[in-house]
Structure formats: C-alpha cells, structure tokens
Amino acid sequence: MKTRYSFGGDEHIFVEVDEQMSLEAFFKSLSMTNAVRSSAITGVIEICPSNASFQIKFNPDVITPAEMLSVLEEIEEKASHTDHNLDTRIIEIPVYYQDPWTHETLMRFRERHQDPKVTDIEYAARINGYDRVEGFIDAHSGSPWFVSMVGFVAGLPFMYQMVDRSKQIQVPKYLSPRTDTPKLTIGYGGCFSCIYSVRGAGGYQMFGITPMPIYDPNQEVSYLKDFMVFFNPGDIVKFKPIDRATYDRIVADVNAGLYEPKIRPVTFSLDDFQKDIDGTNQKLLDVLQ
C-alpha cells in the first residue's frame, strides 16, 4: 500500500503506512516518527505513533501544512532505505490465566458476549481451533509479542503476535463494551493482545490478569519511579503462565518494593525474522533463560 497522508484541520497530518497491521508497516512508521523526533523540526508540537500509522501535530503559524507534508515525504523516502534492526528489550510478563477476578467480571457481562454459555478464553480457544483451553494458553504464551503502540488510555500496550499470519490468534471484541474491566487484565481483540493499565470500560476478551503494574502516575512502584509508563513501542513481551500462589507472592513483592521485572536487552532484526520466524523467536526467548 502507498503511504496515505491526510490533513486534520490546519494543525495535524495523519500518516497511514498500511491499512493492515504488520511488522513491516510498524518498522516504517517507527523509522519515520523517530526521524521526525530526531530532526527537531521547528513547529512540531506532538508525535503520536500508532500500530501502522501516526499523527503529527504542528503549529501552522511556524510551519505550513504544505511544508510539513513535504518534510514528511522526504523522511519517508529516507526511511525506506534504513536497516530493519532495532535495539530493544524483551520482557517477561507473569500472567494468572483464568483468574477469579476477570472471571467474575466476564460473568456479569455475558449478555454482551458472542457466546454467553462459555468463558472468554473458552470461546477464544474454540474459534481458533484448540480443543482445550490449555492448548490455547500455550499458544498465547508460547510466542513473543511486539509492542506496536502505547496509548488509548495511559500506559496501555497494544501487542502484536510474532508468528506467521496464518498462525495468529484472532478473536472479536465483545458485541458491546463492558462498563468494567479489572486493572491489569490481559485482553484480546482482533489480532491484538493488551494489558489494561487501569480499571475501566472495555470490549476486549479477558483471558487473565498480571500482578505486575505497568502504569503508576504516583511513581511509587519501584521500577516506575523514573517514568510512570512501563512500556515503549518496540518492546518485546513474553507472557509466562503462573498460578495463584505465585500471583500472590508477586503482589506482595510489588507492595514491598522488592519486585523487579525480568528484562533483557536484545537486537531484533526484521530481515532475520522474515527469513526464519521460529528460529528468530527461539533466540529471543533464549535470552530470558
């Protein structure tokens, strides 16, 4: 798809790299937004990256919409020649699948679900061809995920499964949104997994919950003292299934200021990934061992 530029009034430009999410589209979007940031273009006020698109807010009294468009087109041309390597980090996220809190919530909203007779994860397992929930959990937690965007609400990461497109988990959102979702719920909608950073309304299927805070506006959590939002676009995530006892222990450690997420630096190569998805993923996961 040819990159599409759209004006939003006289102070925004929306750049759609592709209509569908892909790692290729994400990398191009990331290269362009990084270039805008590093160029320190006079008049640019805000850069808002998304999954396969981004939006630029600028002061039209400093740089006109036509000038801003011309700069972005030049940046796009340069971005097409950049390498596809990303120095990032891989993070292990503990998940208590089929926990009692999201279960209680999903049962309160069954009339809004496609199949009120089963739980969210049972529904997701069935429509993705898994005979048992355990097999579905293995698939959800067995491959790494790419954080393609952080936002919608403060600190919420959208994560894209790093597998061949034919193997991707896909689950529709609720027929109508819930008015409640527990904080730190592991959600799923379309081809994206997410972690609800705060309690609130939501329409994604609920699979479990993590004991690991990812957003702290008061910056009291030990590993969030430098910045209240944990995730960055480009982070790689590995979900790790845990039981109730482990969940409770991590919560206690978080409250005591003792918990530290398992994080390792990695270099991700899109070219290597495209040549050998399984091999690249295994190398990433080996870093966490």
DSSP assignment string, 115-127 = -TTS-HHHHHHHH
160 shares its domain with 105: yes
Residues 240 and 115 reside in one and the same domain: yes
* For residues 77-91, average pLDDT: 83
The whole-chain average pLDDT of the chain stands at 94
Task: State how far the Cα of 206 lies from the Cα of 28, in Å rounded to an integer.
Answer: 31
Share of the chain above pLDDT 90, in %: 80
Residues 190-201 have a mean pLDDT of: 95
CA distance 251 to 99: 14
Q: Are 134 and 25 in contact (CB under 8 A)?
A: no
The CATH number linked to 37 is 3.30.1360.40
108 and 28 in one domain? Answer: no
Supply 74's token pair: 């030049």
Per-residue CA distances from 8 to 13, 60, 65, 173 (Å): 6, 12, 10, 28
Q: Which ranges constitute the DSSP H helices of the chain?
A: 23-39, 65-79, 100-108, 120-127, 133-142, 244-255, 270-275, 277-286
The Cα–Cα gap between 47 and 43 comes to 12
Determine the pLDDT at residue 81.
65
Last residue of a domain, which of 37, 63, 81? 81
Who's near 64: CB < 8 A, 6+ residues apart?
A: none
d(CA 46, CA 58): 7
On the question of pLDDT at 187 being above 90, the answer is yes
If asked whether residues 129 and 266 sit together in one domain, one would say yes
Is the pLDDT reported for residue 240 higher than 70?
Answer: yes
126's CB contacts (< 8 A; 6+ apart) are 118
> Are residues 234 and 150 both part of a single domain?
yes
Domain count, the chain: 2
Give the pLDDT confidence score for residue 177 in this predicted structure: 96
54 and 139 part of one domain = no
pLDDT recorded at residue 26: 85
Which of 62, 81, 100 is at the close of a domain? 81
| pTM of the complete model | 0.90
Is 118 found in the same domain as 256?
A: yes
At 196, which CATH number? 2.40.100.10
Confidence at 173, pLDDT banded by 50, 70, 90: very high
Confidence of residue 1 (pLDDT cuts 50, 70, 90): low
Range of 241's domain? 87-286
Do 114 and 41 share a structural domain?
no
Per-residue pLDDT tens over the stretch 258-277: 999 999 999 999 999 999 99
Same domain, 233 and 93: yes
Does 219 score more than 80 pLDDT?
yes
Average pLDDT over residues 104-110: 97
pLDDT digits (tens, 9 = 90+) for 14-62: 999 888 778 888 888 888 888 898 888 999 999 988 888 899 999 999 9
Cα–Cα dist 146/254, whole Å: 25
278: tokens are 């399984």
- 27/67 same-domain check: yes
Q: Bridge partners of 185? A: 209
Assigned token pair, 2: 């040819």
Q: Is 276 helix (H, G, I), strand (E, B) or coil?
A: coil
Q: What is the dihedral of CA 270, 275, 159, 246, to 10 degrees?
A: -110
Report the alpha-carbon distance of residue 266 to residue 259 in Å, rounded.
22
Task: Say if residue 34 is in the same domain as residue 138.
Answer: no
The torsion defined by the Cα of 119, 120, 126 and 127, in degrees rounded to 10, comes to 150
pLDDT of 104 > 70? The answer is yes
pLDDT of res. 78 = 80
Poorest-pLDDT segment among 36-50, 134-148, 165-179? 36-50
φ, ψ (nearest 5 deg) of residue 285: -70, -30
On the question of pLDDT at 241 being above 90, the answer is yes
Residues 135 and 269 in one domain: yes
Q: Among 81, 97, 118, identify where a domain stops.
A: 81
What does the pLDDT read at residue 140?
A: 96
Q: How confident is the model at residue 79 (pLDDT cuts 50, 70, 90)?
A: confident
CA distances from 273 to 22, 86, 282 (A): 12, 12, 11
State pLDDT tens for residues 52-68.
Answer: 889 999 999 999 999 99
Whether residue 199 contacts residue 180, with contact meaning beta carbons closer than 8 Å, is answered with yes
